[in-house]
Structure 1
Amino acid sequence: MENKSFRPDFSNPHQNAVVGEYWNGDLDYAYREGFKQATMTLLAAATSESYFDPNTDETVYVYVDALVYPICFNARHFIELFLKDSIRTVSALGSNAKQIDVDPIHTLSTLWGHFAAAIARDSRLMERGMPLEEVFKDIADVDNTSMTFRYSRDLADNVHLSGHQHINLGVLGDRLRDMFKQAEEFSVCLTVLQQEYAQGTFTAKLHRANIEDIAKRLPPYEKWTEELNPVKEAICNQLKLSSNDFGKALNLIKRHREFSALIGLELPLEGLPEDVFTRLARVHAGEAAHDVITKDEWLRLDAVMEINRLDSYSEEYDRYLKRISAPDYEGSFSPESIARNAYARNQRLYGGLVKLGQRTLLASLAEAIPHLAEPMKTPPKHTDEEISALTREIFSHFKCSRPGSEAMKGDEPGEG
């Protein structure tokens, strides 16, 4: 028998909410966002002490003394979901991932303990996560177990909130808005770090950015015998590393295409001879057919340019090349398109070769096609506000994809 209350109505499709397995985005995010939006909507109604009902064309008056309970409940439940989702995601980062079963836990103080322990592995998560502690603990002090704002009395029939005479929704609203913003920035950071950790460039003590910073501070490889020890001592003291920890970082740097270039080493790309750019120039000038460059070489050029993308890591080169070279790859192979992309103004070849640490091929590119080997001019630096707005926009698109209303339905660290 059809449920007459929970059903679609395609005469009014914009009110058909996509739910459950039919939602094609991040369902956990949708739940969190829903409780956040409910909180903000009720706060807005409380501020105006009314709301407009489009079904009756009437203004309905509301009472802050009543709205305070669903406002606080929704905000608290957002926090519970945020902590659980974050703990799961952070715990899965890197090798030897250990998942914590947080589903049965509803106590905010316990969840915060798991959250703080999980983010301690990465200073960037600590920087964005720990500022949430104060407001989270404020709410936990009042409603640690999700009972206070759901029921007027506890199991012993005592009235909840006996120690509070007033809750100012203006004060609370300001705190919650700041909290929602901080939580979103943490989630954006975590989404970015998921991709970073997926590259496998980390150790038990160091994340990828740590290792890159170490590589930038090291002397050239040929001078390590004379100059490495004082640099090693300074780095180990700063990052609290043992000699063994530092040695693991050095080994990873030497095996990493991008980071090895920072110490003067080069790990050449196989299958791209130095004369490939001379042949590319002849193809572009119409002096030679596209088959003067082999299919394997075209694919490798395509992979180099793919790595130039802003959100790509140098470690992805081999995986991308393997995917587009596979016999069952369903994408098209178009030397003409690859050649056009190589000559595009965004300097894809140059940027990819730089990211991959290919100084020999860069020299060959400069000789064969000089204008493609020139660095792009640095665009104006965005302000913090612009960067924050951009990340929120990217995150909303990444997390909130929604089908049309017609829809009915850690490994071990690797090498770069």
Structure 2
Amino acid sequence: MSEDPFFGLSEDSTWNACIGQQGDELHYIEGYLEAASELANAIIVKNMLAKRDTLVLPILYNARHAIELVLKYVTGQLFDCGVIPQRHPANHDIKGHWDHMVAADFADEAIRNHLKALERFVVSLDRIDDDGQELRYHVNRDGETSLKGESLANIVVIRDSLKELSSVIDGLMHRTIDFVVERKAGTHTSRCSRADLREIAGMMPPLAEWSSEAFTVAKNTVKERFALSNTQFSKAIDAIKTNREFYGIIGGETDLPYLLDDEVVLVVEQWRILHPDREGQEPEVVHGSRFRSADLIANIKKRRECVDALSGTITSHEAADLEALFYLGRGDFFPEQFDERAATYLQSIGDDEELRARTGRLLDKTNLIACLERGTRRAGRLALAERLGTPPAEQVEAQAADDVQTKQ
């Protein structure tokens, strides 16, 4: 046993916890909030009546500290990415930190809503402990009894409120993480975040109806919900139109740098030849006893033939676009980065041998069609996405025959 009573390690590493350089800032927020919830649940579940008066204090303090930490975390993240001009002074005034964030009026509806939901918890704990002292010490800095204005607190009420608080903090924390990532994509206005713009695009009618009353109705609804002026609304629409994904949401089509729709369809046709049993099915687990060298040789031959069939059609530029579509559909990057990613993939295709190898590796992907369909939709090729989502003619005929057989 180590001489250090708290930071010594035993031979059994089962209960080793990561702290310090192996820890994470979010662990502090989650840890204090989870501690409060676990203590409140334990008192009730284990009927620990004798411990109500002692444990209620660390329960409430942990909840307060979790709020303080999440407010400081969000402020720091938004300051670091340039959304707010300054941090709040480093103190324990949770109401002051909350007011500072609300006053910033962030260009993100979800963050504003999460802060609004957090308000009643902040107000409640600030009322009894405005500097983080009353819940920690029996006597405050003024020499008076802490919490002298309170007499009772109900553990069940606290437990239930902690469940709601956990949901609010989790939402605020993770929306902030997403917001910072989205900010790097560059799609936003002074009033709308990327997520807001996506929501606005979904609220607008198709482009074909923008000269009708439907557009005016949608415009007024959007302006009211997001508190936008006419100028701010126009800037939001301009941002939507220049975004591949959002322009597609309102029915607009955006060309790919080099790849044509028919060329993508040709690739999919060869994929179906190479994977005739994969369509709409989970990959089959092949046991060693069922594996035959003849099958492997046949598969290699078929793969070579499929790559050969595309060699005269898919150039290095088109292969780069195709690869970008696949990884866009897999969710590896934002549609705004499509052209940059395609250019990067193009630089890594040095010669015809590498081109064939890359084409073959794409054809090997069992999720190729699913990712291409999602990728083309996010890239603004709506008509192509619909084509990829339509099963081949022979599959439709086979399904029709199955339906007839089932009815008989």
The TM-score normalised by the length of structure 2 is 0.72
Q: Is it true that 1:299 corresponds to 2:326 in the alignment? A: no
Distance 2:104 2:371 in 1: 38
Counterpart of 1:73 in structure 2 is 61
In structure 2, relative to structure 1, the CA distance for the partners of 1:168 and 1:315 (3 Å cut) is same
The Cα offsets for residues 204-225 of structure 1, whole Å up to 9 and x where unpaired, read as 122334434554525637x867
Q: Is it true that 1:43 corresponds to 2:40 in the alignment? A: yes
Select which of 51, 70, 84 maps to 1:98.
Answer: 84
Select which of 300, 320, 337 maps to 2:361.
Answer: 337
In structure 2, relative to structure 1, the CA distance for the partners of 1:129 and 1:240 (3 Å cut) is closer
User: Does the 8 Å CA contact 2:79/2:87 hold for their aligned counterparts?
Assistant: no
Q: How does 1:108-123 map to 2 (within 5 A)?
A: 108-118=94-104, 120-123=106-109
Counterpart of 2:173 in structure 1 is 187
1:304: Cα distance to partner? 0.7
Counterpart of 1:82 in structure 2 is 70
Which sits farther off after the overlay, 302-311 or 283-292?
A: 283-292
Which sits farther off after the overlay, 209-218 or 156-165?
A: 209-218
Q: Which amino acid aligns with 1:206?
A: C
Select which of 376, 399, 405 maps to 1:353.
Answer: 376
Select which of 87, 111, 118 maps to 1:132.
Answer: 118
Q: How does 1:273-284 map to 2 (within 5 A)?
A: 273-277=260-264, 279-280=266-267, 283-284=270-271
Q: Which amino acid aligns with 1:244?
A: T
Runs ≥4 residues deviating over 6 A = 223-229, 363-367, 371-374
Q: How does 1:161-240 map to 2 (within 5 A)?
A: 161-215=147-201, 217=204, 220=207, 230=216, 234=220, 237-238=223-224, 239-240=226-227
Distance 1:373 1:115 in 2: 56
Q: Which amino acid aligns with 1:255?
A: T
The Cα offsets for residues 42-69 of structure 1, whole Å up to 9 and x where unpaired, read as 3234335688xxxxxxxxx953222222
Q: Is it true that 1:146 corresponds to 2:146 in the alignment? A: no
Counterpart of 2:51 in structure 1 is 63
Distance 1:314 1:205 in 2: 21
Q: Is it true that 1:34 corresponds to 2:28 in the alignment? A: no
User: Does the 8 Å CA contact 1:91/1:97 hold for their aligned counterparts?
Assistant: yes
User: Does the 8 Å CA contact 1:201/1:207 hold for their aligned counterparts?
Assistant: yes
In structure 2, relative to structure 1, the CA distance for the partners of 1:260 and 1:125 (3 Å cut) is same
Secondary structure class of the residue paired with 2:14: helix
Distance 2:97 2:88 in 1: 8
1:361: Cα distance to partner? 4.9
Which sits farther off after the overlay, 270-279 or 229-238?
A: 229-238
**CA RMSD in angstroms, aligned pairs only:** 3.8
Q: Which amino acid aligns with 1:198?
A: K
Q: Which has the larger radius of gyration?
A: 2
Counterpart of 1:259 in structure 2 is 246
Q: Which amino acid aligns with 1:40?
A: S
In structure 2, relative to structure 1, the CA distance for the partners of 1:129 and 1:42 (3 Å cut) is same
Q: Which amino acid aligns with 1:321?
A: A
Counterpart of 2:93 in structure 1 is 107
1:141: Cα distance to partner? 0.7
User: Does the 8 Å CA contact 2:140/2:146 hold for their aligned counterparts?
Assistant: yes
Secondary structure class of the residue paired with 1:347: helix
1:182: Cα distance to partner? 2.1
User: Does the 8 Å CA contact 1:366/1:373 hold for their aligned counterparts?
Assistant: no
Q: What residue ranges of structure 2 are gaps of 5+ in the alignment?
A: 274-304, 397-408
Distance 1:74 1:350 in 2: 47
Counterpart of 2:12 in structure 1 is 12
1:157: Cα distance to partner? 1.9
1:352: Cα distance to partner? 1.6
Secondary structure class of the residue paired with 1:202: coil
1:299: Cα distance to partner? 2.8
Q: Which amino acid aligns with 1:211?
A: L
1:153: Cα distance to partner? 0.7
Which sits farther off after the overlay, 81-90 or 232-241?
A: 232-241
User: Does the 8 Å CA contact 1:120/1:126 hold for their aligned counterparts?
Assistant: yes
Secondary structure class of the residue paired with 2:183: helix
User: Does the 8 Å CA contact 1:119/1:125 hold for their aligned counterparts?
Assistant: no
Distance 2:383 2:42 in 1: 64
Distance 2:380 2:101 in 1: 38
Secondary structure class of the residue paired with 2:335: coil
Distance 1:366 1:157 in 2: 72
User: Does the 8 Å CA contact 1:80/1:108 hold for their aligned counterparts?
Assistant: yes
1:307: Cα distance to partner? 1.9
1:282: Cα distance to partner? 7.0
In structure 2, relative to structure 1, the CA distance for the partners of 1:328 and 1:168 (3 Å cut) is farther
1:167: Cα distance to partner? 2.2
Distance 1:111 1:257 in 2: 38
**Matched positions, count:** 354
Q: Which amino acid aligns with 1:317?
A: F
The Cα offsets for residues 226-274 of structure 1, whole Å up to 9 and x where unpaired, read as 8898468636753544443233234323322233345554331112145
In structure 2, relative to structure 1, the CA distance for the partners of 1:49 and 1:283 (3 Å cut) is closer
Q: Normalized per residue, which structure has more helix? A: 2
Distance 2:59 2:221 in 1: 48
Q: Which amino acid aligns with 2:264?
A: F
Distance 1:4 1:194 in 2: 40
The Cα offsets for residues 126-164 of structure 1, whole Å up to 9 and x where unpaired, read as 223312211221111111101112111122321112122
